[in-house]
């Protein structure tokens, strides 16, 4: 049964396509009775003549695959501290990410 979430309509077909958004795949996966969706290589599913619908299955996707993709999107990229090619320190060595920059001269603060 299709339903509307976040402005998108989940298709009643039990498959994902390469062009589907992450949210649409999540909604279709949630409504799937098997907990997995096949990923198809064509956009012809449910369109046109049924005898011409020959989509190749590329693989299966489940909730663990979605959680890995979501984690890669949501986690910040690691900051690598090290030296540049001349042997000096890089700018990332001088400041930790998201470190508050506190003024060092406290005499001018009123």
Alpha carbon 78 to its chain centroid, in Å, reads: 17
pLDDT at 102 over 70: no
Q: Kindly indicate the confidence band of residue 7, based on its pLDDT and cuts at 50, 70 and 90.
A: very low
CB 37 within 8 A of CB 20: no
Q: Give percent above pLDDT 90 in the chain.
A: 0
Per the prediction, the chain carries an average pLDDT of 66
Q: What is the pTM of this model?
A: 0.45
pLDDT value for 35: 83
62 pLDDT higher than 80 = yes
How confident is the model over 27-54, as a mean pLDDT? 72
Query: How many CB atoms sit inside 10 A of residue 109's CB?
Result: 6
Residue 30: closest CA among 16, 17, 49: 16
The pairing of beta strand 36-40 with beta strand 57-62: antiparallel
Among 22, 21, 24, 14, which residue's Cα sits nearest to residue 60?
Answer: 14
């Amino acid at each position: 049964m299709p339903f509307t979430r976040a402005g998108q309509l989940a298709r009643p077909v039990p498959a994902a396509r390469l062009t589907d958004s992450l949210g649409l795949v999540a909604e279709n996966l949630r409504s799937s009775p098997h907990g997995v969706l096949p990923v198809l290589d064509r956009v012809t599913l449910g369109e046109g003549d049924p005898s011409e619908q020959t989509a190749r299955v590329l693989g299966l996707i489940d909730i663990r695959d979605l959680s890995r993709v979501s984690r890669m999107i949501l986690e910040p990229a690691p900051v690598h501290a090290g030296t540049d090619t001349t042997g000096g320190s890089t700018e990332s060595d001088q400041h930790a990410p998201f470190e508050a920059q506190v003024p060092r001269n406290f005499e001018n603060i009123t």
